[in-house]
Structure 1
Amino acid sequence: MWNWLITSLGVGATIILFDGNPFHPNPGALWKLAQEEKMTIFGTSAGYITAIQNAELKPGKEYDLTPLNAVLSTGSPLSVENFEYIYREVKQDLQLASISGGSDINGCFALGNPMGPVYAGELQCRGLGLKVEAFDENGKSIINRQGELVCTAPSPSMPIYFWDDPNNEKYLSAYFDVYPNVWRHGDFIEINDRGGVIIYGRSDATLKPGGVRIGTAEIYRQIEQL
């Protein structure tokens, strides 16, 4: 996330970093920090949100989060239950934005939009400058169905080669081995007709019993309910 931090400094924002166990001395440690520093944007992960949800923490009742405008999450997809928890127990009038990208593109394929509506379980929109689509097995763009996350045009921050890969063999096999001249990122997604994006997990770690795809995000969601 260093690139986000650097660009934040570029627009005059103050960055708050926390180093240590976010549950020490209690599960509310980060929210106490948010209250003390009058934090406006809280950056976190889906794993942390699930952890405080399981701990039955109620940050909105225990801390003054009046200045807080947005909660941004990355690392893995947010579940519908995560969305419901944040709006129920943290704050109703904020933007909850889940993002998905990669260090290799130094950006986000899909992310939040402070001017758009939030739907539980969805990333709000695709990133500017990235022609993101969902492809089926035949390389056709699809809507309202699961498909491979692809980027069908060059983007400003897309890497152009790997170090010590003179013939580009590793580079081409990593991203362009399935669809010619089309970046395949290795995630299963669904783009719906309102432009929202649902992340189902890695396409190279997907089960397909009876022809029905089950992604890692769906598996984790069931495990976390145990």
Structure 2
Amino acid sequence: MSLFPDVVSKNASSIISPPLPDSLPEFDSPLRLGILASGSGSNMEAIAQAIQSGWLQAQIQVVIYNNPQAHVAQRAQQWDIPSMLLNHRHFASREALDEQIIQTLQAYEVDWVIMAGWMRRVTEVLIGAFPRRVLNIHPSLLPSFPGIRAVEQALQAGAKVAGCTVHYVELEVDSGPIVMQAAVPVLPGDTPETLQARIQQQEHRIYPVAIALAATVPPK
């Protein structure tokens, strides 16, 4: 169950995502985040903006990316956040990559691992090193449409509602306990690009909140 279940009106074209709280929990010290990303880094930037505004009490210690062309590296530089390329093609196994990720995260004293468009399956190596401290955001209302191309899956299935989910990472893809969700309508004529853009707006809204909630309320 989500901590903030979505509210859907009788009119499917006006779906209300969960209202954001007026404030987020405060901690004894800022949460130390390590971001894993493979693409543009827009969720990383949304988290950085929430931190800069004082809304989320956290600090991004490092950004790790696996794609040499990933724009997240430029975003990290603009925010003066350390970044490191760990190209998965240079590792003999997923476990070997995760071992290097762990070493990097530990070197930067990371508490929470935040997967923000990380397009690699993680192993028990990483999950075990940060038990219940690895979060992911997925562009569907899980448990519907797990895995790759979730937006395309929703359109092909004729879904009337789509959205995004922040969840704890477990070994099975997109299966961990849900922290928070937000919904958007699927509109007539939607393409994967138009629907993805609306979903991404909600991702940017809820991910900072979900991080604070995860650090406050242990998963069931």
- Whether these two folds match at TM > 0.5 is no
Higher helix share: 2
Higher Cα radius of gyration: 1
- Higher RCO (CA 8 Å, separation ≥ 6 residues): 2
Q: Calculate the TM-score normalised by the size of structure 2.
A: 0.33
